[in-house]
Amino acid sequence: MSHYTAPIRDMQFVMRELAGLDEVAKLPGCEEVSPDLVDAILDEANKFASEVLAPLNRTGDQEGAKWDNGKVTTAPGWRDAYKQFTEAGWTAVACEPEFGGQGLPKLIATAVMEMWKAANMAFSLCPMLTNGAIEAITLSGTDEQKAAYLPKMVSGEWTGTMNLTEPQAGSDLAAVRTRAEPQGDGTYRIFGQKIFITYGEHDMTDNIVHLVLARLPDAPEGVKGISLFVVPKFLLNADGTPGARNDVHCVSIEHKLGIHASPTCVLAFGDNGGAIGTLVGEPNRGLEYMFIMMNEARFAVGMEGVALAERAYQHALAYAKDRIQGTEMGVRGGPKVSIIRHPDVRRMLMSMKSQTEAMRALAYVVAAANDAAHRSADAAVRAENQAFVDLMIPVVKGWSTENSIDVASTGVQVHGGMGFIEETGAAQHLRDARITTIYEGTTAIQANDLIGRKIAREGGVTVKALAAEMRGVLAQLAEQQGDAFVAIRKSLESGIAALESAVEYIVATYGKDIKAASVGSVPFLKLLGIVSGGWLMARAALVSARRLAEGSDDEFYKTKLVTARFYADHILSQAPGLSYAVVNGAAGALELDEAQF
């Protein structure tokens, strides 16, 4: 049985010392954010995550969601947990106060979200998708739509979904075929089939609000002809309560490798005359609106990477401390020891721990920048932060999720043979993590976005500014005493250089040979993640050294210093190899004809 307790100390450290919680608290609309408030929120969220959600994680995996004749029954305990979740107000954390939200900064909401995802990823997907739908209606909906849906969705009384994918159109939204026929009364009849719809049907709420991409009759081909519609499961009565059943039905749910308790639905729209929906925003701009939701969702999936890595680490750590096997290395005939004393188990745990902390640091720093980008009174500050956020969302998404698979797999390895036995629970983290590099845009799609829209299009301005900022940390590292700082500086310096030469290559190549640049896109995304993580771990080491020099005897700072050093030696040191593959790897990847494979 795997327990979960939120790593509140590290969360607090990252929020305060790396992400600038104090600065976030000074932003317009964040006046009520105080250290006490943050403490209270994190403590309450931790209680809910560890006491209510975490215990359902394994049973949810075993029981799964069940489909029968169009109805989906969630796993045992799910309905009750969801009810408690809404009653405690957790659905409203980051939402606009106008519709009942608490309007908390994204930085705080991110820490809270990490807890839900670590405690029970399959559960967390429901509020996550609802948040995406809330975001889209908030930004692009009519006043009527906002009034009809947002209060119920913010309170969690109704949930929301995102309906993009169709069987013939996975990542390629230009191929969407679902159609919407105007009825002349402001409503539309929707016809088509959507697949991979998370919580597309369930038994936890009285209504479900589907946001659906579809084409109008006169729409242009491709991505410029897609519109966004709201299609509720139950049409609304004049008083706003759920009325007649709409013509959207769950045809089946998928049998998946992981997140068994999250129903992944095939939804049929319009098999009986058409599902009634209303247009969100302007015609043919659906993809634009969906991208707004997707950016939020991509960041949230990145947090799944952080969260699953944390959960897998806690699971493996508990086992490694508990499991007695073998004697201390180099000590013949000595007493049996717990396996955490074996150097390779130690290496695996440090690898899991250091990568998880680096990913958390990056995600929270991006969340804080998102707050500044949305709330700062200074337009230049907003723009600068938005550019950083835009650059980093594909990295938070792609790098954290790719790592989470490795970290969860390492967690299985720490357990030895027991890791392969499902009852142990370690394998579930790996199975659950395996979707995170695929949905909300595969790693390749994140990487294309990164090197194209976020780097090449602006000649690498933002990423070069980031590298320059990282170089500023090198000087501070040089002022510190001790082997650890020598090691950190050495790896960070070569990591930054590796990043810079890869950026040069991408900027120089993208315009003239997009395929050659794209071969390096995923290695580049990982490179940027690794080096950014190294930069933040170095900053964390500097803060820790300062606190210790000020007389603190806090074990947390000592541990953070060692962890930062491990990261530099074992993880950041892989940066030059990735850069080499980015800069040199195109020819060998592209040369073969299809027939030669």
The answer to whether the beta carbons of residues 291 and 389 sit under 8 Å apart is no
What DSSP string describes 337-404?
EEGGGSHHHHHHHHHHHHHHHHHHHHHHHHHHHHHHHHH-S-HHHHHHHHHHHHHHHHHHHHHHHHHH
State in angstroms the smallest separation of the CB of 214 from a second copy.
19
Q: Is 440 a catalytic residue?
A: yes
Least separation, in Å, of the C-beta of 346 and a second copy? 5
| Smallest distance from a second copy to CB 333, Å | 8
Q: Which is nearer to a second copy, 59 or 386 (CB)?
A: 59
DSSP string, 189-254: EEEEEEEEEETSS-SSSS-EEEEEEEB-TTPPSGGGG-EEEEEESEEEPTTSSEEEEPSEEEEEE-
Pairing relationship of beta strands 336-338 and 242-245 according to DSSP bridges: unpaired
128 in Cβ contact with 156 (< 8 Å): no
Sort strands 336-338 and 248-253 into parallel, antiparallel or unpaired.
unpaired
Look at strands 275-280 and 234-236 and give their pairing: unpaired
In angstroms, give the least distance from the CB of 444 to a second copy.
4
Q: How far is the CB of 534 from a second copy (least distance, A)?
A: 13
Query: 């919580």: which residue's tokens?
Result: 199
Residue 473 Cβ vs a second copy, minimum distance, rounded to whole Å:
18
CB closer to a second copy, 183 vs 325: 325
Only one residue has tokens 């409203």, namely 92
Nearest alpha-carbon partner for 11 in 127, 121, 117, 115: 115
Q: What letter would DSSP give residue 274?
A: -
User: 68 forms bridges with which residues in the sheet?
Assistant: 71
Strand partners, 279: 229
Task: Let me know: does 517 contact 456? Beta carbons within 8 Å.
Answer: yes
Rounded Cα gap, residues 259 and 64, in angstroms? 8
Which lies closer to a second copy via its Cβ, residue 399 or residue 439? 439
Q: Which is nearer to a second copy, 188 or 439 (CB)?
A: 439
Specify the residue, 82 or 485, whose C-beta has the smaller distance to a second copy: 485
**Tokens coding 593:** 């004809």
Which candidate in 17, 114, 296, 440 is catalytic? 440
- The smaller minimum CB distance to a second copy, of residues 37 and 329, is found at 329
Which residues belong to the active site? 440
